[in-house]
Amino acid sequence: QDQLVESGGGSVQDGGSLRLSCVVSGYTISSICIGWFRQAPGREREGVALIDSVGRTTYRGSVQGRFTISRDSAKNTVFLQMDSLKPEDTAMYYCAAQNLQNALCRVGISSLYFEHWGQGTQVTVSS
């Protein structure tokens, strides 16, 4: 059965760092589109970072240069290293996966394309 389990969220101060992990079971992460979305209260779910099957990455403009997505195929795990965190990064962060063409695996794609989701991990950044 497909399963995505996130961990690594928490509370940090402005400028701090966190590393999120998403352990995947049921399929091989190196063959699919996988990444991170986030949703703050009262706002729509938005893409943060995605990595496609050949390792190309895309990022939301507001996190470019601060966040880094990576994967460990041996552990079937995807990571999101978040540095220089800001209060506006506060949200529930979700790992998502879908078998998509690489041309579609770009931040900006609707979350509706993704069928496989983790339970989410909360990130809170205080000023």
Mean pLDDT of 119-125: 98
What pLDDT score was predicted for residue 11?
98
- Are 20 and 83 in contact, with CB atoms under 8 Å apart? no
Give the CA distances from residue 101 to residues 12, 33, 34, 36, 109, in Å, rounded to whole numbers and listed in that order: 36, 8, 12, 17, 12
Q: Kindly tell me if the per-residue pLDDT of 1 is higher than 90.
A: no
In angstroms, the CA 48 to CA 36 distance is: 5
pLDDT band per the 50, 70, 90 thresholds, residue 2: confident
In angstroms, the CA 88 to CA 40 distance is: 9
Which tens digits make up the pLDDT trace of 30-84?
Answer: 999 999 999 999 999 999 999 999 999 999 999 999 999 999 999 999 999 999 9
What's the mean per-residue pLDDT of the chain? 96
